[in-house]
Amino acid sequence: MALYAVAAAVLAGVESRQGSIKGLVYASNFQNVKQLYALVCETQRYSAVLDTVIASAGLLRAEKKLRPHLAKVLVYELLLGRSFRGGGGRWKPLLDRHKARLKAELARLKVHRGVSRNEDLLEVECGPGSASQVPRFVRVNTLKTCSDDAIDYFKRQGFSYQGQASSLEDLRALKGKCFILDPLLPELLVFPAQTDLHEHPLYQAGHLILQDKASCLPAMLLAPPPGSHVIDACAAPGNKTSHLAALLKNQGKIFAFDLDAKRLASMATLLARAGVSCCQLAEEDFLAVSPSDQRYRQVQYILLDPSCSGSGMLTRQLEEPGTGTPNKERLRALAGFQQRALCHALNFPSLQRLVYSTCSVCQEENEDVVQEALQQSSGTFRLAPVLPSWPHRGLNTFPGAEHCLRASPETTLTGGFFIAVLERVEVPSSVSQAEASAPELRPSPAPKRRKRKRKAAAAPT
């Protein structure tokens, strides 16, 4: 089956530093990108466990033509994945010959390490606070369902709902089939770190979006009210765009730009599955978009999440441990692009609020870019103070940098991330103050039960 061979090739490419998992998956031209990405990520996550089981079972000694990366993918699928429910092609008979021995070695490993579940083997491999221990965040897509119905569906599947979290410790304590409501975002459910929902019917139907909490903050902090015109400047792969559409309730317009045709095509599929109808996609360089174009005269909100080093991405930390900071030359090139994009965005005449975000932990791509853009704006824009209780603030590199937000596995139990919210100091006369003001953002209460009985969420067909 082509899936396993392509997944093995991606794993080999990651180990030889040919690229990241995401980059190599997209470059593979495999038709089902999400299926391939999920299989590679899960195989990589269990890599050390799989190496131990394969070695103990003597699989590569017995099957000399079986290459190590392909063996790892196949053993993951046999023991921890779908067990070849999709067929398995010519590899299934080969693995079936060794199935009993492989299962026995996995059971022996769990006994040796004093754990009872496969997921617990990962906790032995990794220390607390590491990237692999970040919880699984699941955003409920409010264009298709609501938090109440999603929670009820999981409860009917045997999951135990723990209510709304009150602290990060509640998230750290999640185990087994327990889940909880995030203390800040009312549409964000939180599951234990090793929970795999890629095959869940609600995810496959677009009712759920697998999105890290830090990645949910930009749209939440931009907070465009329904009816607004919004630009998503560097939009692919589209999770933030779908979040913006949910906040808009599909009322208004999102102008989404990206230069990568392949990523844009995948994004169109994602948005269609999520029920997004207010978005116009354009294969265009945002820097080439004219702020004076009459199509964008009503744009008051811009989300700018430009290309970056990805140094805070959880997948990169897991697949390339110890890689460290990108080289200075690459950082300078990225920061130059990011600075041009941010300064360009601030030139849109009706702009009132902008969120700049990266999945980088490097000062050059974050505080330095924001500081330069603020200086060039000559006082027209300022940093908005947001989420005062957020524990990880911007680096103290210039006055007001504490209004920026940072995130990391250690401090916020999320991927590494940076966010700055810029707002116009003086409102143009053509725009009313009521239209320009963004709503105050506070942690939301847990969803209350409705008095009238609702129709329960059903698995989509």
Catalytic-role residue among 279, 308, 359, 362: 359
Give the CA count within 13 Å in the CB-facing half-sphere of 241: 31
Q: Which two tokens stand for residue 370?
A: 């924001």
359 is annotated as an active-site residue: yes
Active-site annotation, residues: 359
